[in-house]
Structure 1
Amino acid sequence: MPFPDDFLWGAATSAFQIEGSPLADGAGPSIWQRFADTPGRMVGNETGDVACDHYNRMPSDVALMADLGLQAYRFSVAWGRVLPDGTGTVNGPGLDFYDRLVDRLGQAGIEPMLTLYHWDLPAALDDRGGWLNRDIADWLADYARVVHQRLGDRVTRWITLNEPWVTMDGGYVRGGLAPGHRVHREGAMAAHHQLLAHARATAALRAEGAGQVGLAVNLEPKVAATDKPEDVAATARADAYMNRIFLDPVVHGRYPEGLPEVFGASWPGFADADLDEIQTDTDFFGVNYYTRAVIVDDPADPPEEARRVRQTRHPYTEMGWEVYAPALRDLLVWVKDEYGDTPLFITENGSAFYDPPQVVGGEVPDPMRVAYLHDHLLAVEDAIEAGVDVRGYFAWSLLDNVEWAQGTSKRFGIVHVDFETLERTPKHSAAFYREVIGSNGAALGDAPRIPTTDEVTATARRSAASLQEGAG
């Protein structure tokens, strides 16, 4: 069964990771600039000040998207470019950038999918409590109105929040991401306020006449490593903490049963009126999928007291994530079974494997990434055949970029970026994806050709030799 005729093929990025020029044209600083400017927070003490320089290279990047045959492009707006203080006065030049981007996409025949919030909260709002301040629900709604009033005539698909679990867990519970808190009791409040913000931003966008409004969540199937009761219970806690914490309230108007156990005494309980407001008809869900987690009980690993265990004989990405494509099909079927027939988009799916910093011989072979894309797209096709309403797929990521606290050390792009020259070079995965798009998935019928070990070794030696010459 082929992909539906109207299936949407795209790629995704986020503002902080690619734009650079964080304070250009009157923009206000974000929590990620503060985080990056704090020594020891980012690998190599890198920052996002240049990133991929997309802010200045946007026209040529859109032309590159067109060359790759992309039908859609998912990007995020930097809140602080539009509202330097997070609220109040609108920064016209900052909003102009996204106006030009949307125009360029339209001229190229590429549909925009706009994400309002992809982790880069204005620093001024963090000073007012950030996601711990209940008022942020209204701040996001006001920001949504401002952006829609300028771009709503050309943007039909809107995402309020990207991966609110990561904001909660990485930003407030574990502290490895901005704003870098490590306070267990803050997690529940940060999650709840994001859910309120999604509801109010959705209402604001609909009042403005927005076409479709969705929420993008990162989901990770949790599988018990054994049938021991303690491992099964740990797996349920991990599932509630990561996979159900945002979907259950939006769809069912309640939090999953396991969350009070996860948060313990810091679980505050929430008013029924809040949950009634949070239960919102959502036009689509974005599903961000990278890996699964095989779980064992571990009281020393809070807050879920659950730990993932590495699977022998399975490939892993440079992020330490297991490559296991069948779990994507199972995940999508689970979403349908648990949450109904709301249309789904795969809003992120991709892999970080080693690519040389500089291009050798004009090509960037990335056979592991090609195989990753191939197998996960087949899993999406299998889910569609099983009756799941998947409307589109966005590869993560269009460009190698600033992988948050990992800096430029992890490359997810289907397009190579030389971070010294900022030159873009499509990888073999980009060529493969172009074929998939051009055939509406029919090219998946043939397994991708994986280079032999000798070919991979020869490429690595050429790369090493070139780098040695450059060093000399």
Structure 2
Amino acid sequence: MNFTRNDFPEGFLFGAATSSYQIEGHSFGGAGTTHWDTFAATPGNVVRAENGDIACDHYHRYPEDFDMLAAANFDVYRFSTSWARVIPEGTGQPNQEGLDFYDRLVDAMLERGLKPAATLYHWELPVALADKGGWRNRDIAAAFGEFAEVIMGRIGDRVWSAAPINEPWCVGWLSHFLGHHAPGLRDIRATAHAMHHVLLAHGTAIEAMRAQGVKNLGAVCNFEYAAPADDTPEAAKAARLYDGYYNRFFLSGLFKGEYPADVMEGFAPHMPKNWQDDFALIGQPLDWVGLNYYTRKLIAPCDGPWPAHKEVPGPLPKTAVDWEIYPEGLHHFLTWVHTEYTKGLPLYVTENGMASFDDLKDGVVDDQPRIDYLNAHLDQVRKAAAEGVPVNGYFTWSLLDNYEWAHGYDKRFGLVHMDFDSLQRTPKASYHALARALAR
């Protein structure tokens, strides 16, 4: 690494992130069925129809994983809780095995000096709620508030931070308009409802957790840098619209009590009834905002219905999931979120990392491209901090190679290599480089 801990502001926190369904092993401990289980069981949705039944077996092996986090000198572990593990039917009777598991998890983090950063929802919706319309149904906000009360009633006294929902764009657009994630819909009305209801659920959960006395509450949004594919006004308009539904929609709802006008040109006929009345709840005060950033997209106009644009291949080096590597975008978003929306709230880079083709040879994984990626993006974080942006931490995705959703187990984002047959963990060169850089 081309930095040490001392190159960042005093108190700057370093961490690694994971999510429940991607690592735990969902077939253990009384967890209920999720819409990812049924999505993966449908031919054509996921590579080799792979699912999260076993994943990394973190459910049983978390002490080993936390020992690796501590040995790498991380400060924070960003994890998520599984709604279907805690309340298998989505509402009603909690699963005590699931609550006990997260109890053990948080205690094990604290024993190793790790700050637990909880995300309540990272995409594993209980099928009983999916059967009722899932994120299309306004009732999901109340159900999510109930889940927040139950899980934080157990661990909320010991977590360092909590955020309701990871990456609302993925929950809304990617899953209901593009159809790439569960529930796999391609419907503009479903998308408009889901994107509004995910923010309503966020506000409901924030209100519920504040009432319980849970501290340090935030929101985590994902961002992609949208660049015009050429110099035409049409390409500029197309890129602006992409930026609207990807980057501006959720922040505008959270901090301005409105949605972008260009996005509403497409969404307005399809929004839920009385959606304008929900912004007081959506805009609950926050203590911090998290940014997930990976890539940029080149956008060009095309014929067809709204949004009438397409992605085109870019010239920059790409990761194993074909995402362009554009570190400057991270600096852009840290600066832009600070100046346009959050106005001084602490910011955290809650996810950033790369998928690469990592081979284990003689017990070693030489993932120099990942080291280069992390260096380049952390350079941009340092630059933003030096310019006065209140960025207080950086959490890399991910600790472990894991279940990468529709990609199955092919795409490796981890600092630690996973053999998915033996479940053997092998720290990669990037893990060891970070451990040295973060030594105190």
Q: Which digits, 9 at most, give the CA deviation of each residue in 1:312-359, with x for residues without a partner?
A: 2x2101111100111211111111121122211111000001012xx2
**TM-score by structure 1 length?**
0.89
Distance 1:132 1:317, change over 3 A: same
Corresponding position: 1:364 with 2:365: yes
Corresponding position: 1:221 with 2:222: no
Aligned to 2:261, the other structure's residue is in SS state coil
Separation in structure 2 between the aligned mates of residue 158 and residue 191 of structure 1, nearest angstrom:
21
Q: Which amino acid letter does the alignment assign opposite residue 14 of structure 1? A: S
Separation in structure 2 between the aligned mates of residue 216 and residue 14 of structure 1, nearest angstrom:
13
* Number of the residue aligned with 1:3: 8
Corresponding position: 1:351 with 2:354: yes
* Number of the residue aligned with 2:389: 388
* Number of the residue aligned with 1:199: 203
* Number of the residue aligned with 2:60: 56
Match for residue 46 of structure 1 among 38, 50, 56:
50
Corresponding position: 1:337 with 2:342: no
Q: Which amino acid letter does the alignment assign opposite residue 191 of structure 1? A: M
8 Å contact from structure 2 (residues 357, 412) kept in 1: yes
Separation in structure 1 between the aligned mates of residue 20 and residue 275 of structure 2, nearest angstrom:
34
Separation in structure 2 between the aligned mates of residue 268 and residue 54 of structure 1, nearest angstrom:
39
- Comparing 66-75 with 290-299, which one deviates more in the overlay? 290-299
Match for residue 192 of structure 2 among 169, 172, 188:
188
Separation in structure 1 between the aligned mates of residue 190 and residue 156 of structure 2, nearest angstrom:
34
- Comparing 178-187 with 399-408, which one deviates more in the overlay? 178-187
Structure 1 segment 100-249 matched on structure 2, within 5 A: 100-249=104-253
After the TM superposition, which parts of structure 1 deviate over 3 Å for at least 4 consecutive aligned residues? 262-265, 267-272
* Number of the residue aligned with 1:377: 378
**Shift, 1:267, TM fit:** 4.4
* Number of the residue aligned with 1:315: 317
Q: Which amino acid letter does the alignment assign opposite residue 355 of structure 1? A: D
Aligned to 1:277, the other structure's residue is in SS state helix
- Comparing 171-180 with 345-354, which one deviates more in the overlay? 171-180
Q: Which digits, 9 at most, give the CA deviation of each residue in 1:42-67, with x for residues without a partner?
A: 10221211111111111111111111
* Number of the residue aligned with 1:420: 421
Q: Which amino acid letter does the alignment assign opposite residue 66 of structure 2? A: V
Q: Which amino acid letter does the alignment assign opposite residue 216 of structure 1? A: V
**Shift, 1:311, TM fit:** 2.6
Match for residue 28 of structure 1 among 26, 32, 42:
32
8 Å contact from structure 2 (residues 228, 236) kept in 1: yes
Aligned to 2:116, the other structure's residue is in SS state strand
8 Å contact from structure 2 (residues 141, 200) kept in 1: yes
* Number of the residue aligned with 2:17: 12
8 Å contact from structure 1 (residues 241, 262) kept in 2: no
**Shift, 1:263, TM fit:** 3.2
Separation in structure 2 between the aligned mates of residue 291 and residue 270 of structure 1, nearest angstrom:
35
* Number of the residue aligned with 2:399: 398
**Shift, 1:269, TM fit:** 7.0
**TM-score by structure 2 length?**
0.96
- Which one has a bigger Cα radius of gyration? 1
* Number of the residue aligned with 2:3: none
Q: Which digits, 9 at most, give the CA deviation of each residue in 1:1-25, with x for residues without a partner?
A: 93122111100000110111x2423
Q: Which amino acid letter does the alignment assign opposite residue 5 of structure 1? A: E
8 Å contact from structure 1 (residues 237, 262) kept in 2: no
Paired residues, number: 434
**Shift, 1:230, TM fit:** 0.7
Q: Which amino acid letter does the alignment assign opposite residue 150 of structure 2? A: V
Q: Which digits, 9 at most, give the CA deviation of each residue in 1:345-402, with x for residues without a partner?
A: 111000001012xx22111001111100000001101111111111111100000001
**Shift, 1:194, TM fit:** 0.7
Q: Which amino acid letter does the alignment assign opposite residue 349 of structure 2? A: I
Give the fraction of aligned pairs with identical amino acids, expressed as a percent: 46
Separation in structure 2 between the aligned mates of residue 227 and residue 234 of structure 1, nearest angstrom:
12
Distance 1:303 1:424, change over 3 A: farther
Q: Which amino acid letter does the alignment assign opposite residue 327 of structure 1? A: G
Aligned to 1:70, the other structure's residue is in SS state coil
Corresponding position: 1:287 with 2:288: no
Q: Which amino acid letter does the alignment assign opposite residue 169 of structure 1? A: W
Q: Which amino acid letter does the alignment assign opposite residue 156 of structure 2? A: G
Unpaired runs of at least 5, structure 2? 1-5
Separation in structure 1 between the aligned mates of residue 303 and residue 294 of structure 2, nearest angstrom:
26
Distance 1:139 1:290, change over 3 A: same
Q: Which amino acid letter does the alignment assign opposite residue 430 of structure 1? A: Y
8 Å contact from structure 1 (residues 156, 210) kept in 2: no
Larger RCO: 1 or 2 (CA < 8 Å, sep 6+):
2
8 Å contact from structure 2 (residues 171, 198) kept in 1: no
8 Å contact from structure 2 (residues 206, 217) kept in 1: yes
Unpaired runs of at least 5, structure 1? 440-472
Separation in structure 1 between the aligned mates of residue 406 and residue 275 of structure 2, nearest angstrom:
35
Corresponding position: 1:306 with 2:309: yes
Q: Which digits, 9 at most, give the CA deviation of each residue in 1:186-228, with x for residues without a partner?
A: 1110011111111110000000001111111101121223331
Aligned to 2:408, the other structure's residue is in SS state helix
Distance 1:58 1:183, change over 3 A: same
Q: Which amino acid letter does the alignment assign opposite residue 150 of structure 1? A: R
Q: Which amino acid letter does the alignment assign opposite residue 134 of structure 1? A: R
8 Å contact from structure 1 (residues 144, 201) kept in 2: yes
Match for residue 272 of structure 1 among 276, 283, 295:
276
Q: Which digits, 9 at most, give the CA deviation of each residue in 1:96-140, with x for residues without a partner?
A: 111101111010000110000000011111111111111111111
Separation in structure 2 between the aligned mates of residue 279 and residue 60 of structure 1, nearest angstrom:
39
Separation in structure 2 between the aligned mates of residue 271 and residue 9 of structure 1, nearest angstrom:
38
Corresponding position: 1:326 with 2:331: no
